[in-house]
């Protein structure tokens, strides 16, 4: 059996998918259930159907693309990722795992291979937290990590509920039915760009992920007192943005002081009210994202955030309170799936690096109901979540080939 990846087709599909976007190229913005996302989903469905794969959606639009195996009762071998993209993102995050997964299946079809277990491409809904404030919404529901009731309370920036948004997008049915049984997948593999610099720096073409870091995110609300930027004297100020500035730096310091390069903390949103140049900021909302491969270290940064909030609040006479959105445990990949990936790398003669993922992925949650592992390819300068994100054609094709080889081995 000779597996050949159709390089030109795969690369041109990545380009086409990037055109379903609300940003000027090369930037990509594709928020879940936006018109751009819905157009991209329709295009993807037609691609899958061209290859005689069946497509089904669950109640929140997680998309299951199935190549039936000869043993219908056997659990499926899954692969997949996401196609939603944060504002001002690049072309490759998630997309390589979706279109690479589809091409891996097509390459196996062309090779004459016939799977025993069905092989399934899964495209997750809302991996990115942009719309509903929480990442990996689809995989949290698939794995039972988030209850349907909690999911139904989620709203977007316009105040629309998940139910309203999904039904407007054409996805109906009970959210209760999204959860998958624990024996649905025999194995699940996510192909993804590394989103970090290590593979490129060490000139190693592939990373086999052994562990996925623990993410947490929270909103912090700061309330001070507004007023005239000329009239209110400095000693009388209770400026919410100045308090926020101190808190942002305290969060950064706490992450830097952890002693481990795997501790990272980011304040990516700062909303200022009333946001007028001659008005003292009276309210601020910050959104912080804190991660580590080690749960204790991650939680220590969160405790430091609370301690700093208390001291800044006392010193500046502002109120500060935080709202936890999620604090998830790290995930270990399955040694059986890791072994299958490394066996494929060896068979094909490719060097690989065992590594941790400091980005989160749907595989973190899928790992709670299935044996998972991830395959990373390098991305230039480690850039991701920015328009100049780039993965080379050779790396994309190599990752897709290893994925195809591994899907074949696991579904034989
Ligand atoms: C996923 O996009 C992440 O933020 O790690
Ligand atoms: Mn992302
Ligand atoms: Mn991603």
pLDDT digits (tens, 9 = 90+) for 83-116: 999 999 999 999 999 999 999 999 999 999 999 9
Ligand (nearest to CA of 136): 1
Residue to mutate (ligand 1; options 88, 132, 135; most atoms within 8 A of CB):
135
On the question of pLDDT at 24 being above 90, the answer is yes
pLDDT recorded at residue 43: 98
The reply to whether omega before 26 is within 30° of 0 (cis) is yes
The CB density around residue 155, as the number of other CB atoms within 10 Å, is 15
Nearest-angstrom CA–CA distance, 117 and 105: 13
- From the CA of 86, the nearest ligand is 2
CB 265 within 8 A of CB 251: yes
pTM, 2 dp: 0.94
Nearest ligand 1 atom to the CA of 289 is 4
Predicted local confidence at residue 13, as pLDDT: 98
Nearest CA-CA partner of 97 in 381, 411, 379, 412: 379
Distance 67 CA to ligand 3 centre (A): 24
Ligand nearest to the CA of 357: 1
**Averaged pLDDT, 258-264:** 95
Is 2 a residue whose pLDDT tops 90? Answer: yes
Give 236 Cα–ligand 1 centroid separation in angstroms.
41
Quick one: tokens of 271? 């909303």
pLDDT digits (tens, 9 = 90+) for 346-405: 999 999 999 999 999 999 999 999 999 999 999 999 999 999 999 999 999 999 999 999
- Helix 95-111 to helix 7-18 angle, to the nearest 10 degrees? 150
Q: How many CB atoms lie within 10 A of CB 182?
A: 12
Neighbours of ion ligand 3 (CB under 5 A): 93-94
Q: What's the chain's average pLDDT?
A: 98
Ligand 2 centroid to 384 CA: how many Å?
Answer: 7
Parallel, antiparallel, or unpaired for β 76-82 and 185-193? parallel
pLDDT at 267: 98
Confidence category of residue 179, pLDDT binned at 50, 70, 90: very high
Q: How far apart are CA 188 and CA 170, in angstroms?
A: 27
Measured from the CA of 385, which atom of ligand 1 is nearest? 2
Using the mean position of ligand 2's atoms as its centre, give its distance from the Cα of residue 69 in Å: 31
Mutate to test the pocket of ligand 1, among 89, 97, 194, 195 (most ligand atoms within 8 A of CB): 195
Contact 179, 151 (CB under 8 A): no
Task: Please say if the pLDDT value at position 240 is more than 90.
Answer: yes
Q: What phi and psi values does residue 56 have, to the nearest 5 degrees?
A: -135, 150
Q: What pLDDT does 109 receive?
A: 98
User: What integer pLDDT is reported at residue 162 of this predicted model?
Assistant: 98
Which pair of structure tokens corresponds to residue 201? 């720096």
Ligand 3 centre from 82 Cα, in Å? 6
- Look at residues 310, 323, 324 and name the one whose alpha carbon lies nearest to residue 243: 310
User: Could you give the CA distance from residue 262 to residue 196 in angstroms, rounded to a whole number?
Assistant: 11
- Decide if pLDDT at 12 tops 90: yes
How far apart, in whole angstroms, are the C-alpha atoms of residue 245 and residue 229? 18
Ligand 1 site-directed mutation target among 126, 132, 385, most atoms within 8 Å of CB: 385
- Digit-coded pLDDT (tens) for 282-336: 999 999 999 999 999 999 999 999 999 999 999 999 999 999 999 999 999 999 9
Handedness of CA 361, 10, 101, 54 (dihedral sign): positive
Give me the DSSP letters along 55-85: EEE-TT--EEEEE--S-TTSPEEEEEEE--E
Q: What separation in Å is there between the alpha carbon of 366 and the centre of ligand 1?
A: 15
The tokens 């999911």 sit on which residue?
151
Determine the Cα–Cα distance for residues 258 and 269; give it in Å rounded to an integer: 23
Q: What pLDDT shows up at residue 51? A: 98
Residues 6+ positions from 278 with CB-CB distance below 8 Å? 228, 229, 230
Flag whether pLDDT at 1 surpasses 90. Answer: no
Q: How confident is the model at residue 161 (pLDDT cuts 50, 70, 90)?
A: very high
């Amino acid at each position: 059996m000779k597996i050949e990846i159709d390089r030109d087709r795969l690369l041109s599909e990545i380009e086409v998918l990037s055109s379903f976007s609300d940003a000027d190229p090369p930037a990509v913005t594709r928020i879940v259930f936006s018109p751009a996302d819905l157009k991209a989903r329709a295009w993807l469905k037609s691609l899958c159907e061209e290859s005689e794969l069946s497509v089904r959606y669950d109640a929140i639009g997680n998309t299951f693309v199935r190549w039936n195996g000869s043993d219908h009762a056997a659990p499926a071998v899954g692969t997949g990722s996401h196609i939603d993209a944060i504002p001002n993102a690049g072309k490759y995050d998630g997309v390589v795992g979706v279109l690479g997964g589809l091409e891996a299946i097509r390459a196996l079809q062309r090779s004459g291979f016939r799977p025993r277990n069905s092989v399934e491409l899964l495209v997750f809904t809302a991996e990115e937290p942009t719309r509903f404030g929480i990442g990996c919404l689809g995989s949290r529901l698939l794995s039972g990590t988030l209850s349907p009731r909690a999911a139904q309370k989620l709203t977007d920036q316009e105040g629309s509920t998940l139910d309203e948004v999904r039904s407007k997008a054409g996805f109906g049915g009970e959210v209760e039915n999204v959860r998958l049984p624990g024996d649905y997948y025999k194995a699940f593999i996510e192909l993804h760009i590394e989103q970090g610099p290590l593979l490129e720096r060490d000139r190693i073409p592939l990373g086999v992920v052994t562990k996925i870091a623990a993410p947490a995110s929270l909103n912090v609300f700061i309330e001070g007192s507004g007023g005239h930027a000329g009239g209110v004297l400095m000693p009388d100020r209770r400026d919410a943005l100045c308090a926020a500035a101190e808190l942002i730096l305290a969060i950064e310091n706490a992450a830097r002081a952890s002693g481990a390069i795997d501790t990272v903390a980011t304040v990516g949103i700062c909303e200022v009210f009333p946001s007028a140049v001659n008005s003292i900021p009276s309210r601020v909302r910050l959104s912080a994202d804190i991660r580590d491969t080690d749960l204790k270290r991650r939680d220590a940064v969160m405790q430091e955030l609370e301690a700093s909030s208390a001291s800044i609040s006392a010193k500046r006479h502002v109120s500060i309170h935080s709202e936890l959105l999620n604090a998830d445990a790290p995930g270990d990949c399955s040694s059986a799936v890791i072994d299958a990936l490394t066996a494929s790398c060896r068979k094909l003669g490719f060097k690989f690096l065992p590594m941790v993922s400091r980005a989160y992925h749907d595989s973190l949650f899928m790992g709670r109901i299935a044996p998972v592992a991830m395959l990373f390819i390098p991305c230039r300068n480690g850039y991701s979540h920015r328009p100049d994100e780039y993965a080379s054609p050779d790396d994309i094709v190599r990752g897709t080939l290893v994925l195809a080889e591994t899907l074949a081995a696991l579904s034989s």
